Each structure stands twice: as C-alpha cells, then as structure tokens.
Structure 1
Amino acid sequence: MDLSRPLMTVAAALGLMVMTAAAPVRAQEGSVAVVVNGVPITSFDIPQRQRLLQLREGRPFTAAQALDDLINDRVKFAEARRFRVEANEAQVNAAYAQVASRSGIDVRAFDQVLRSQGIEPRVYRGKIRADLSWSNIVGARFGRTIFVTDTQLANAISRRSTGNAQLMEYNLRQVILLVPQTAAPAVVARRMGEANALRGRFSNCVADIDQVRTMSDAAVRDPIRRTSTDLSPAFRTILDQTAIGKLTPPSRTPQGIEMVAVCSKQPASSDDTATRNQVREEITTAEMRRISNDYLARIRRTAVIEYKNGHRPLN
C-alpha cells in the first residue's frame, strides 16, 4: 500500500517474466499468445500478471492491460540483456527476501501469501528480475544526466506550501492482518473484528508495534515519512482525524485488513533538510520516470511483436 494513494498502492515491487524468457514454454503453461523478439508470452502468463498487478496496485486490471505490461517487460529485459546489465539470481533473491521482510514475514511465508492469491512465487521473482534489469540500464545510461538545481528545489517546495493549508509531515507505519483475497466472508469478518479490537487498544508506535509482530498472520511495514501534499485529500483527512499513536480505521485490501499507525504529525518546515532531500528525490524520480517511459516507447517501436490466437494490441 503506497500512502501517496488513497489508503492504497511500495509496494509492494509481476507474470512469468523474462527470468525464464529464453527457456521453451512448457505445455502445461498454456498456448502462445504473443511472441516478443522471439520470446513467447503464454495464456498462463497473462492471468498470472493480471492477478499480480491487481494485488500490487489495489485495483482491477484487464487481461489486455496485463498482456501489455508483459510485453513491456519482455522488451525491457531484451534491452538490458543486449547491454549485459541484466540482474543475476543473487540480486533477485536478495530483493525478493527484502520484499518479504518488509511485509514482516520470511520468504517461505511470503511464498504462501502469493499462492493464496493465485500467484506463483517464480512469477513475482521474474518481475523483480525485469524491474532490476531495467533499473540497471536506465541508471547506467541516464542516471548522471539528471541534476536538480537550487531554483528547481525552491520552486517545488514553494508549490507545496501555496494556499492557506499548512504543510504537514507525518511519520506512519502500515499494519496488516493478512487475509487471502479468496477468503470466506466469515473469515474476513473475523479478521475485521480483530483489527477493530487492535485499533481500540493500540496507543503507542513502539510497544504496540512490537505486540503486533507477535500476532498470527500479521505484518508491519517499515516506517514511512510523508508530507501532506504527498497524500490524497481523503487520506489526509483520515490522518488528521487520527490521534498520534493511534491506528486509522481498518480497510479491506487484496493483502488483508490494513490500518496505518500515526506515529507523529507536525508542521513541516521548508528549510528542513529532510524535506529538501525528499523533494530533491521526488524531482529526480519523476525525471527518471519520464526518461524511462520515453526510452521504453522508443525501443518498443523497434521490437518485433507477433500477436497469436486473436490477441490484439492494447488501444
């Protein structure tokens, strides 16, 4: 759940990816839907990617959108391989373990969570490999071309502070009671009751967070620092109505029952070093995203993409 969205995305940073792109497609993995630069995407890959995107983004995705995302990753990985900067197995394993750790569980338990959502762990690992490989090539080719000037920084901070609303800074922790997306209504209702009970007794972001870690099928995310302009108006209102040391109302998401602990909130200073660093990072990330999108669009135009069995490009 990314707190820059209303109560939802980090990722939590998917389809049977290019990690096995060079291997022949096995019969049980379905028929070929699209071939990208000689590498197939099958009817197994598409629903896997669709479920993964829905889990990660917290909103519905069509099969056509999932297929388009798969094609993008095939193109990205081919480019990374061309420049010999594809991520290796050790990097993928480390990143996968980090995702599990941030969810408050170990790798084996994280595998089980994915399977409960109908997603094969190797699918997620493949997506991680594609993402890491693409990050490697974009960073290597364009990372040093981005420079944030003091004027850009000052203007961005000024835009954050316009109007009468005071710029606020929040320190937050996401708390999740894990519930499979396919769980029966009675299970969801029971876990929702547990969430409300936890919310009623929660009063401290240190001691009570430690207690949450001891609960069955519960996870606590790493601390997140956000300013009010990073958040949707609806979510900002919820945070403002939640006392420091308390949890926001529980919300059902693809991962389970989620709440956010408000560990602190205070007016943010435009001269604060942390704020300046955060704004600088946001500007850099936005520029890198623009460069990445332009680069992908350019190399996708030259890719050989063959649609099979009635599949068509996403309009």
Structure 2
Amino acid sequence: MTDIRLKSSALLLALAMTILLAPTLAPNAKASGIVAVVNGAAITDLDITQRQKLERLLSGGKRRLSKSAALNAMIDDKLKLIEARDRNRTPSDSDIDNALGNMARNAKMSSKRLTGIFRQAGVNKETLKEWLRAQLAWRSLIRARFNAQIRVDEAEIMQALNEKGESRNSVESTIQFDLTSVLFVARAKNQNLRLREAKRFRDSFQSCDTDLEKARRLTDVAVTRVGRRESGALPPAISKTLRDTPVNRLTQPRKTDTGYEMLAVCGKKDLGKEATLRDEIETKLKDDRSKALSRKYLAELRARAVIEKR
C-alpha cells in the first residue's frame, strides 16, 4: 500500500477553514504567466497559487507558504519528476489513483469526497495528482539509489532500545491482526439497501471459518483475504477499531468508492511492547537517514539543473 497518508482531523479542520477563509478560483481566470523554467519545464503563477493552497490544506490550515517558498517547492518537484522520467521511474496513472484512494481511506472518506474537499479549497484534482506523482517518484528514486544505505542493523536498534529505559512502559503493545475484507458492492441506486444488508450480515457474523464462506455465496459481495497486519503499520484510527473488534467479528461498514467494506478480524496476536519499540526505532532511524540522503540528492539535481526565474 502506498504510504501517502492524510489524517482526517487535519482534513476536517482544513475544510472548516476553507469555508470561512479560502477564496476560490474565478471560473474565467486569465491565463497565468510563466515565473520559472526548470530544465525546459515551465512553472506558472497559477502553479504557485495552487501549491500554496495545497500546502495549506495538507497541513490542516497551519502552513502558509510564501510565493518564494511555493516556487522553490515547485522547482524541487519538477526536478524530481524530470529525474524520475530520465530513470524510467515515473509512477503510472494507476499508482496515482491508488495513492489517492489510500489518502481517502486513511481520512475515512471516499475519494470523491476527498477530491471535493480539495476542490472546495481551490485546489484542482490535477494539482493534487501531480503532487502525489512527485512524492511517489522521489520515494522510488531514493530507494533505488540509497536502499543499502537506508538499512538499519540489529546493533543500532538494540542500542536505541537500551537508551529508552523506563519510557518502554508507556508504549502500547503491538497487535498482529489476521484480516479478511468483506465488500458489499453498491451502485448509486441501491446504496441504502446495500448498507442495510451489510449491517444485517455483520450482526449475524459469528465465525470466520463458516461465515466468510457464506459471504462468498452472496450476490455482489467480494471477499478478499488481507492477511496479517501489525497495528503499528496501520493508520491509528483503523488500528484502534481493530483492537476494539473481537476475534470472529466484523468492523462497522465503511463507505468506499465501490460499496461498503467491513474487515473480519479472524485472529489477534499480542507481539508485546518490545515489538512496538523496535518498529518505532527502526522507522525513525530509516526516516532520518532517508531525509539526509534526500537532501543530498536534491542538492545534486539543483546543482546541475538549468533554472531560469523570471
């Protein structure tokens, strides 16, 4: 799963601020002028305005980029996309759609509603997709070039664990879930009916061993094994929902682009606090290393790029 996440709390805050504060684009706005050219790729005034609005929404209204900062962010993205193109690592349209879908799921809403929130804030869908394309392309480039350098060895993890000391007690245990998705496919004309049917099935669900097979025999119901997932690798809201759902039961139906999805919790295994700490430490060490290498790589691209500001 593409790890491009957006918290629902930030989205809802941003939506509220959008309604009160953010201007929308005039429908007959004049064509914007070119403010910079990066290796032949143009950046316009409209691109800058869009980037400012995008960053504001992604931060839940907390981050407001100046035009200069937005231009620099756009230059970086252009360089990332050009490098990805040259190294045949440009994400496909389906990669972008999947990333957008993951953002929506993490924010507990449909893709349509998510893009509607961005549109209401004055950010068009293509701006969002181009931003996602740059993020995915850059992650792919970093992994391809620096994968060996990003790895963390056991000695580093153990040293960091020993430094944690008494703070270990405040950490929540990692739970490994065994999950299966049950999707009640719904069309525009039968949304309410399918939701009622999904809820009835959830109420009657007692066993993964027998009731998943019953679900497979239902009309327009897709049963897909998700497999084992650890709580630390899941969005916090989903992790909490799964922790609160007993084994051999289904989560509440959640609206998706294709219907109503429930997750069958077919097993839980407590991996302990040590597993949580190890995951957190390994993730932080890798993230710190990746950020440092990313800055170095981007500096190299800027050094050899032809950037003309107008």
TM-score by length of 2: 0.57
Taking the aligned partners of 2:95 and 2:50, their CA distance within structure 1 comes to: 23
SS at match of 2:65: coil
User: Residues 170, 34 of structure 1: CA spacing in aligned structure 2 closer, same or farther, 3 A cutoff?
Assistant: farther
Moved more, 119-128 or 95-104: 95-104
Determine which of 284, 287, 295 is the counterpart of 1:285.
287
Match of 1:153 in 2: 157
Q: What do residues 243-301 of structure 1 show as CA deviations (whole Å, max 9, x unaligned)?
A: xx9xxxxxxxxxxxxxxxxxxxxxx977x123212211221121111111110111111
Q: Is the 8 A contact 1:148 1:284 kept in 2?
A: yes
Q: What do residues 23-72 of structure 1 show as CA deviations (whole Å, max 9, x unaligned)?
A: xxxx9440000100010000001011011112212422212111110000
Taking the aligned partners of 2:73 and 2:88, their CA distance within structure 1 comes to: 22
Q: What do residues 137-172 of structure 1 show as CA deviations (whole Å, max 9, x unaligned)?
A: 1111111333312221122223333xx76652259x
Alignment of 1:94 with 2:103, yes or no, is: no
Determine which of 137, 140, 146 is the counterpart of 1:142.
146
Determine which of 229, 236, 239 is the counterpart of 1:224.
236
Q: Is the 8 A contact 1:143 1:288 kept in 2?
A: no
* Structure with the higher helix share, 1 or 2: 2
User: Residues 278, 83 of structure 1: CA spacing in aligned structure 2 closer, same or farther, 3 A cutoff?
Assistant: same
Match of 2:70 in 1: 66
Q: Give the unaligned 5+ runs of structure 1.
A: 13-26, 172-221, 226-244, 246-267, 309-315
Determine which of 55, 79, 100 is the counterpart of 1:75.
79
Match of 1:305 in 2: 307
How large is the Cα RMSD of the aligned pairs?
A: 3.1
Q: What do residues 233-252 of structure 1 show as CA deviations (whole Å, max 9, x unaligned)?
A: xxxxxxxxxxxx9xxxxxxx
Q: Is the 8 A contact 2:6 2:103 kept in 1?
A: no
What is the aligned length? 197
- Name the amino acid aligned to 1:104: K
Indicate the structure (1 or 2) with the bigger Cα radius of gyration. Answer: 2
Q: Is the 8 A contact 2:36 2:309 kept in 1?
A: yes
Structure 2 counterparts to residues 101-112 of structure 1, below 5 A: 101-112=105-116
SS at match of 2:171: strand
Taking the aligned partners of 2:286 and 2:71, their CA distance within structure 1 comes to: 29
Determine which of 23, 43, 46 is the counterpart of 1:44.
46
Q: What do residues 219-241 of structure 1 show as CA deviations (whole Å, max 9, x unaligned)?
A: xxx6429xxxxxxxxxxxxxxxx
Structure 2 counterparts to residues 169-180 of structure 1, below 5 A: 169=171
Taking the aligned partners of 1:93 and 1:125, their CA distance within structure 2 comes to: 8
- Name the amino acid aligned to 1:103: A
Taking the aligned partners of 1:107 and 1:147, their CA distance within structure 2 comes to: 34
Match of 1:55 in 2: 57
Q: Give the unaligned 5+ runs of structure 2.
A: 15-28, 174-233, 238-243, 245-270
